Amino acid sequence: MAICRQGAGDRLLFVDMRGNVAITIKDIARQAGVSAATVSKVLNRKDQFISEETREKIWSLARERNYTPNSIARSLVTRSSRVIGIIVPDILNAYFTELVRACDVAARERGYSTILCNSDSDPEKEAAHLTFLASHGVDGIVMAASDLIPDAGLLERLRIPLISMDREIPELDCLAARIDTDYETGAFLSASHLIGAGHKRIAFVSGNPLASNTKIRRAGYERAHREAGLPIDPDLIECGAFNHRFGLMATRTLLDRTSFSAMCCMSDMLAMGATVALRERGLGVPEDCAVMGFDNIYIAPLLVRPLSTVERRISEAGQLAVDALIDFLDDPTQPRRMVLMEPTVILRETT
């Protein structure tokens, strides 16, 4: 932590907790015999037209005096913090863990840092996170898939560029891009594969029944049944959450209520919970019940029985989201991007 003291000649001195005076760009420039602008270019790695000798001298002085750039001061000058906020509903869900990492890698490749906020699918927490990120001067926010519909009034007041990923969000001026998955097609492909394999009673397990992305997935599941001439049995449908725990509970409920030979799980975490419940009842996967996941998270192929699933290209989605946000920050007049990512079926050992 640094504190500010008044020095001789009305010069402001930044002093750390040990009493050491913090070095500034002007100090380095004076000692190196160059301008402060030259030092700034070198330390910000925009030094392609500066000699190797000068670059080395500046870096040597910076290391010797433990120079640390003041990001707050820099943001006041540039009006950019070069920080992106990321809000996810459940960081324990491996899908979001993977997505956050992809966003962070993409941001760093373009010279940005990230701040992660976890909302636990709580609207009050999400609103608090939005306010926190705005008050800390982030340049933009990536809002990942959630059951929540954010407060349009709050978003309009904050006026921070937003990227919406797989979630329902109002059409606002601050919305820079939407990165969505074609959930209807993904669920249709999942159910169609199982129907093609001879299954006639296929359970459907998904997230919050009121959320738009759950309704869209269910529409794809039902379309596959209609096109195959199969009835849609409400007893085969359980919706509540996308996590492992709900997959376990929903499968137990389904097994107690009805019979089926396959499951369309609308997340890989749900599918993993489902396989645990099936094993509890002495049922083999896929011998007694085939299981399809959705997402293709990194652990899907590493399970004891590698999971058949629907690929969402998580890393690519994270890259697209961050690129769209930073491109918008560079040029707010550009048209909004609306990207719909096409899913594909990945067959492994659970079907």
**201 and 94 within one domain:** no
**162 and 52 within one domain:** no
The residue among 69, 92, 121 that closes a domain is 69
Percent of the chain with pLDDT over 90: 64
**174 and 88 within one domain:** yes
Question: Do 97 and 154 contact (CB within 8 A), yes or no?
Answer: no
Per the domain annotation, does 349 fall within a domain? no
Q: What is the span of the domain harbouring residue 129?
A: 79-181+315-342
Tokens of 4: 């500010």
CA–CA dist 295, 47 (Å, integer): 42
Per the domain annotation, does 275 fall within a domain? yes
DSSP state of 103: H
CA–CA dist 264, 218 (Å, integer): 10
Tens digits of per-residue pLDDT, 291-321?
999 999 999 999 999 999 999 999 999 999 9
Residue 138: phi and psi, rounded to 5, are -65, 150
H helical segments located in the chain:
25-32, 36-43, 52-64, 71-78, 94-109, 123-135, 152-158, 183-196, 212-228, 244-257, 268-280, 314-330
The number of folded domains in the chain is: 3
CA–CA dist 105, 318 (Å, integer): 9
pLDDT for 240 equals 96
Cα 171 from chain centroid (whole Å): 20
DSSP state of 286: T
Tens digits of per-residue pLDDT, 162-205?
999 987 777 778 888 999 999 999 999 999 999 999 999 999 99
SS3 14: strand
**194 and 259 within one domain:** yes
**320 and 288 within one domain:** no
Crossing angle for the helix pair 183-196 and 212-228, nearest 10 degrees? Answer: 30
Per the domain annotation, does 34 fall within a domain? yes
CA–CA dist 296, 179 (Å, integer): 17
CA–CA dist 113, 105 (Å, integer): 9
Per the domain annotation, does 351 fall within a domain? no
**21 and 62 within one domain:** yes
**54 and 151 within one domain:** no
Tokens of 303: 């399970």
Question: Do 262 and 293 contact (CB within 8 A), yes or no?
Answer: no
**59 and 17 within one domain:** yes
CATH number (domain holding residue 45)? 1.10.260.40
The residue among 45, 69, 93 that closes a domain is 69
pLDDT for 21 equals 54
**Upstream peptide bond of 123 is cis (omega within 30 degrees of 0):** no
Amino acid present at 103: C
pLDDT for 13 equals 42
- Residues of the chain scoring pLDDT < 50: 1-19, 76
**158 and 90 within one domain:** yes
Crossing angle for the helix pair 36-43 and 52-64, nearest 10 degrees? Answer: 80
Chain mean pLDDT for the chain: 88
Amino acid present at 122: D
SS3 162: strand
Tokens 């550009």 identify what position?
334
**151 and 137 within one domain:** yes
Per the domain annotation, does 223 fall within a domain? yes
Tokens 């420039």 identify what position?
29
Per the domain annotation, does 278 fall within a domain? yes
Per the domain annotation, does 348 fall within a domain? no
CATH number (domain holding residue 254)? 3.40.50.2300
**296 and 189 within one domain:** yes
Crossing angle for the helix pair 36-43 and 25-32, nearest 10 degrees? Answer: 110
Distances (CA, A) of 176 to 52, 219, 302, 309, 329: 40, 28, 36, 30, 9
Distances (CA, A) of 288 to 199, 311, 330: 11, 24, 55
Task: Kindly provide the b/e burial profile for residues 286-297, where b requires at least 16 CB atoms within 10 angstroms of the residue's own CB.
Answer: beebbbbbbbbb
Question: Do 213 and 244 contact (CB within 8 A), yes or no?
Answer: no
The residue among 39, 69, 99 that closes a domain is 69
**252 and 234 within one domain:** yes
Per the domain annotation, does 74 fall within a domain? no
CB atoms within 10 A of CB 239: 20
